[in-house]
Structure 1
């Protein structure tokens, strides 16, 4: 298990954080994709360059053949206006929405069929044959048949329709962003005609706008007049209904208080009476409360406030106090029966009776006032209660009255508003307010607006590049040739053991192998090195070399691997397993009279079937006589026996196997050896065919060690260059022999 430890200070060997590694991997992945697309472009660069050159040429030819056209532009200002027939508020939407709808409507009117036909009639284009010839309008209809150089009058409507369509087709409306300016552009082969149409279009738009406003004003005036008469009838009817109901229900209301223009409602007489009596009742209640308080205080005798404030009672009390004082002085010296004391006592008793009579008179007066106040309060309360009932009954009867009154008020407001608007329209009915004006009239253009050579060439360049890239990607997808070592694993799913360069046709594979500095030797040394990692014991002791079809380099691969293994101080034997088209005996300068087919037929003397290859350092066994059916010889177990016997004397057994497709020999040999090395010809074999052959080997339970790309040319590589590093490393012209 690989553990990723965090970086520590001073630890130079600590691994970077996982997030950093993932980010670097993502960057490398994107760079790899970009390099892949770049290599595809480089591989099919001639296709891309051809598409670009073709499109540029076509764009140049089309531009030169196109008729020059001139565009004239008139600029008008469209002001926002608020035209309302009635002056009611609160029924419009937001201003931004209204503005957008207004301007979109104006743009639509500028592109309307009616306006285009108006321009055609204004410029007298309907009866002008030159106009239709200018735009190449040809028709077999009777409306376009010339009679003495003129069109028939009967087809005027048809020609007006066609002329309007032609003008609309060549006219553009371009609103200036965030402004009220609108450009009216017209394009035609004639510069002066373009300017004339653009100016006529702007003037016709202004005229049609004024006509619509006049028509709308007249229509609004007539509509308001009818609505005014109808509203007057509704107002009169509602007033008569209100008066009739008030008379029937005996509802009498006083006029509203205030001056002219007051908004106070009418007042009811019952309400006024009830308010006045309610005020009197409140005052009577207050008086009764005061009288009741005085009456309660009078019950206290001489301690009451009225008694204390009464002068007669106060005088009698003072006289009594004086006599009581005299009586007390006599009692100091005399008895109560003393005549003088007795006379004073009689006076005191008389004064007491007088004081009691006065206090009784005061108390009676307070009681009388209380009874009078209570009676008055009760009378007023009864009157108020009766008026309340009358008022509530009046209120119930006034509900419908108020409904009629509201209807009268509403009809009066509507009538007044319509009357005011009718007067305004009457004043301004004959005046058209134009909200559209010409800012810049169209001038005769001095240069054609189309065709534009640079723009057309730029579009052609982009189109050619797009077509070329699409074609390159399409060809890349449909191309099944294996042109690059990376495709051995990507397309075939085989481990890549190495790539072998294509050798010069003037030298044979044997000559290349004898030259230890040749590129072929370097390549197969790399293959041998990779073979050492395919099994636990290093290079497989027995393996076969095969391919999909003949002439893919399998025999050269088998010969080269036997040579490199022998040079590694291993005892190697090369067996020619292709008994249908043997080739190993040519390398040894002998015949194939004795070889593999003899052993498979039953001979056991191996020494008579082999021959040495002294210059390459290994032993070889030829295919032997060509049998009638090689597959029958391979079906038995004689091949397994041969391999076992050879492994007793040799370190490695290399079998040059026949190709896979169309033959049963290769799967039979592959099932007897430890592994199979598959040779794939670069730039010459389809990947689908190779996959089919590999499936046949896998069906025979063969172990495919890996693939070797043969006859590889770096300049034709699909994914670029760089795979030839090491081929010829350290060599130069002086050291070659």
Structure 2
């Protein structure tokens, strides 16, 4: 009868080839760089880090000691945005806007660093006369095979290259003072060269300004000459046209002017006025006045016609009428007085009446004459208006004809005026530039001259050592990261869970096996506390609670599986469980050595039927659990495990024990552990920290899963937080609180 225990959840044939959570495709790729892992990595790779950084510091020290000293001299030059204008006309160069200051300063930097400036320094210091400069700069001399006539040119090129390579120009952000620095093995040469650069920088700017003025004067002179010729041609053309078409300008004509002068004046302006036009303008003005006069005269006449004679305004305002009116008033007063005293035929009354009638007749005659004069004035104004209108119409026709002939003249005249204005402007500008051309002006000035430096700037030992340390640190970290990236060793609990995708039931500290003790007397030791936690986690790792049959295995030998078996058997026994510990490693049994027990008979003899279980059981001291050693090492372990013997044995033994623990052989390279895993309820995988590799452990897990084994979890043994690079997170100080002083 086959009593092999089939674990729940065993995959079928097709399911064995389906992806599982432990496959490579589901594993998170990449290297973790959180702070804790990075710190741990640095601790693990501390020897590499110290060696690389030490070598880098040694190289930096050696290079610093072997380097030749170099001196740096500095000169400062002030660069303003605008040129200093001493005279009007010194603004040939454009004004630099505030927003273009940086671009302007960078342009000046390019000028200083240019090859032409280097040649100017060479000429200033006469460096091309010999090879002294190149020797002091410790540079290679030109090839001796160069012909003598080309040797000076080759020396100049080499010196220019050296000058440009050792010059540094700095433009600060917060000011406009340019710093010129030159580095040389010779302190005196450094000061001479940088001062020459500063002088030539200032001189070059002055020369540039003078050349700009000279160029501007030449351009203006050429333009003035050309414009004069064009103006002369245009004026002659205007005069000829005016003479041909008899167009006389009357705007500037005087009594002594001749016909020729008048024609020239006509050609002088596009707004000139001919005689016909002038007469028309004058006649039109007279006509306007005549119309106004006629309207006023007409209004006075028509008002006089509608008004009684003596009430006409002009009549009342006449002095003669006023005198007669006064005389009549006096005469009327006398007549009234006499009429009151005498009869109408009294001589004095008759005389007074006659005088009054005479005054009335005179008044009537004067008023009539005034009214007739108003009528006369109206008719005279009307006739004058008609005459002027007739003359104006005639002149208008003549003017229109003349204006048609003046169109071309006006075009020529405007061209003459435009050229004359251009000529005047150019002459004024030329005079300004000529007056200011010899005045030195500059917006660049040397601020500080360089002094001979007393101390070299290189080698700078602290700086070089700092650079060497930084480079060494970068290289060391890179090497450390590369080593960690290719190292797949399982170091920490996080590695086990993230890479194997199995629950971690616990970790044990890195302690000698004898610390466990055959009797485990010190129950508060770190390793005992670790196995207490593992046993408690194992009880909750499966749905059925404490496993009835538990196989303990590992991927490779000496990872702590036997120690784990002993510790679990002891802990289960202490809580009252009936425990059977079986040494199922048919290759290299080891449990009998832990208890100094006799292994002449054991599991092998029981499976082969040579002995009974009761004959082979060994009682283990006060821990009260049973030990079944292997007995004799069989010659055919695979055949024994492939048969039904182990399954039948476990099925028959289970009623007598609460927990059966099998210490089996490692998984890799052997078929024993997978064969046993098919017969048991639960498998516990042991992984040794800092020794087991990810690939190897995953292969072991895959072999177990392929045969349908139920893996309860993983135990990480021999874990040392100091080797892994972690600190307080994994310290084993279980009883620090219990053993501390209490108040």
User: TM-score scaled by structure 2?
Assistant: 0.73
TM-aligned CA deviation for residue 384 of structure 1: 6.1
CA distance 1:608–1:88, change in 2 (3 Å)? same
Alignment correspondent of 1:458: 466
Give yes or no for the alignment of 1:169 onto 2:170.
Answer: no
> What do the CA deviations read for 1:202-254 (whole angstroms, capped 9, x no partner)?
33444444444554444444333322211211222233334444455665544
1:484–1:718 contact (8 Å) kept in structure 2: no
Give yes or no for the alignment of 1:572 onto 2:618.
Answer: no
Q: For 1:567 and 1:683, how far apart are their aligned partners in 2?
A: 32
Higher relative contact order (CA 8 A, sep 6+): 2
TM-aligned CA deviation for residue 667 of structure 1: 3.3
Q: For 2:285 and 2:600, how far apart are their aligned partners in 1?
A: 149
SS of equivalent to 2:730: coil
TM-aligned CA deviation for residue 628 of structure 1: 5.4
CA distance 1:88–1:170, change in 2 (3 Å)? closer
CA distance 1:292–1:730, change in 2 (3 Å)? closer
> What do the CA deviations read for 1:253-290 (whole angstroms, capped 9, x no partner)?
44479xxxxx9973534665555555555556556666
2:167–2:180 contact (8 Å) kept in structure 1: yes
Give yes or no for the alignment of 1:545 onto 2:552.
Answer: yes
TM-aligned CA deviation for residue 122 of structure 1: 3.6
TM-aligned CA deviation for residue 466 of structure 1: 3.3
Give yes or no for the alignment of 1:222 onto 2:218.
Answer: yes
> What do the CA deviations read for 1:82-105 (whole angstroms, capped 9, x no partner)?
799996999957622564454333
Q: For 1:472 and 1:37, how far apart are their aligned partners in 2?
A: 10
2:168–2:180 contact (8 Å) kept in structure 1: yes
Alignment correspondent of 2:455: 447
Note the 1:148-227 alignment, pairs <5 A. Answer: 152=148, 154-227=150-223
2:555–2:687 contact (8 Å) kept in structure 1: yes
Q: How many equivalent residue pairs?
A: 650
2:677–2:704 contact (8 Å) kept in structure 1: yes
Note the 1:640-679 alignment, pairs <5 A. Answer: 640-679=647-686
1:596–1:621 contact (8 Å) kept in structure 2: no
SS of equivalent to 2:199: helix
1:597–1:626 contact (8 Å) kept in structure 2: no
Alignment correspondent of 1:113: 115
CA distance 1:500–1:113, change in 2 (3 Å)? same
Q: For 1:392 and 1:719, how far apart are their aligned partners in 2?
A: 112
The worse-fitting range, judged by mean Cα deviation, of 520-529 and 172-181 is: 172-181
Give yes or no for the alignment of 1:266 onto 2:271.
Answer: yes
Unaligned ranges ≥5, structure 1: 1-31, 146-151, 258-262, 316-359, 733-737
Counterpart among 524, 530, 533 of residue 523 in structure 1: 530
Note the 1:191-590 alignment, pairs <5 A. Answer: 191-247=187-243, 252-255=248-251, 266-269=271-274, 276=282, 279=285, 401-429=409-437, 432-433=440-441, 435-504=443-512, 507=514, 509=516, 511=518, 513=520, 515-587=522-594, 589-590=597-598
CA distance 1:641–1:437, change in 2 (3 Å)? same
Q: For 2:640 and 2:401, how far apart are their aligned partners in 1?
A: 131
TM-aligned CA deviation for residue 627 of structure 1: 5.1
Q: For 2:643 and 2:281, how far apart are their aligned partners in 1?
A: 136
Give yes or no for the alignment of 1:49 onto 2:45.
Answer: no
SS of equivalent to 2:518: helix
Alignment correspondent of 1:59: 60
Alignment correspondent of 2:98: 96
Q: For 2:48 and 2:299, how far apart are their aligned partners in 1?
A: 125
CA distance 1:691–1:373, change in 2 (3 Å)? farther
SS of equivalent to 1:49: helix
CA distance 1:300–1:139, change in 2 (3 Å)? closer
Alignment correspondent of 2:69: 68
Alignment correspondent of 1:321: none
2:75–2:448 contact (8 Å) kept in structure 1: yes
SS of equivalent to 1:511: coil
TM-aligned CA deviation for residue 692 of structure 1: 2.6
2:134–2:141 contact (8 Å) kept in structure 1: no
SS of equivalent to 1:443: coil
Q: For 1:35 and 1:645, how far apart are their aligned partners in 2?
A: 51
CA distance 1:118–1:730, change in 2 (3 Å)? closer
2:606–2:612 contact (8 Å) kept in structure 1: no
CA distance 1:629–1:361, change in 2 (3 Å)? farther
The CA RMSD over aligned residues, in Å, is 4.7
The worse-fitting range, judged by mean Cα deviation, of 114-123 and 603-612 is: 603-612
2:509–2:732 contact (8 Å) kept in structure 1: no
Q: For 1:597 and 1:251, how far apart are their aligned partners in 2?
A: 151
Q: For 2:610 and 2:370, how far apart are their aligned partners in 1?
A: 173
TM-aligned CA deviation for residue 708 of structure 1: 1.0
CA distance 1:133–1:634, change in 2 (3 Å)? same
Q: For 2:314 and 2:113, how far apart are their aligned partners in 1?
A: 108
SS of equivalent to 1:579: coil
Q: For 2:647 and 2:720, how far apart are their aligned partners in 1?
A: 38
1:482–1:685 contact (8 Å) kept in structure 2: yes
Q: For 1:523 and 1:307, how far apart are their aligned partners in 2?
A: 142
SS of equivalent to 2:488: coil
Q: For 1:253 and 1:382, how far apart are their aligned partners in 2?
A: 25
TM-aligned CA deviation for residue 552 of structure 1: 0.8
1:576–1:596 contact (8 Å) kept in structure 2: no
TM-aligned CA deviation for residue 678 of structure 1: 1.6
TM-aligned CA deviation for residue 691 of structure 1: 2.2
User: TM-score scaled by structure 1?
Assistant: 0.74
SS of equivalent to 1:563: helix
Q: For 1:727 and 1:250, how far apart are their aligned partners in 2?
A: 130
Alignment correspondent of 2:716: 709
1:302–1:308 contact (8 Å) kept in structure 2: no
CA distance 1:568–1:396, change in 2 (3 Å)? farther
1:70–1:189 contact (8 Å) kept in structure 2: yes
